[in-house]
Amino acid sequence: MSEFPRPLSGVNPVVQFAGESLVVSTQELAGVSRRHLGGVAGTLEAEHDALIHALDLLFTGV
């Protein structure tokens, strides 16, 4: 993550997946076509609250 800009607090949560820290760029989700996604690699269920908070903040500002 050090080679990328600092994530926006709240909007870009840092999640743990497969032993790695990953930044979720919620503001870019609509730009990814379903056909460009690969198969299921796992779940982010443990990150549910952070992801919902990020989407709420992105869409409503709260």
Question: Does any domain span residue 20?
Answer: yes
Task: Return d(Cα 33, Cα 53) in angstroms, integer.
Answer: 23
Question: Does any domain span residue 7?
Answer: no
Question: Does any domain span residue 31?
Answer: yes
Q: Name the residue range of residue 50's domain.
A: 14-60
Q: Of 48, 49, 55, nearest to 25 (Cα)?
A: 55
Question: Does any domain span residue 3?
Answer: no
Question: Does any domain span residue 52?
Answer: yes
Question: Which ranges constitute the DSSP H helices of the chain?
Answer: 48-60
Per-residue model confidence as pLDDT tens digits over 10-61: 899 999 999 999 999 888 888 888 888 899 999 999 999 999 999 999 899 8
Q: What is the pLDDT of residue 28?
A: 86
Burial label, 62 (beta-carbon count in 10 A; 0-12, 13-18, 19+):
exposed
Number of domains in the chain: 1
Task: Return d(Cα 53, Cα 11) in angstroms, integer.
Answer: 8
Judge if pTM exceeds 0.85: no
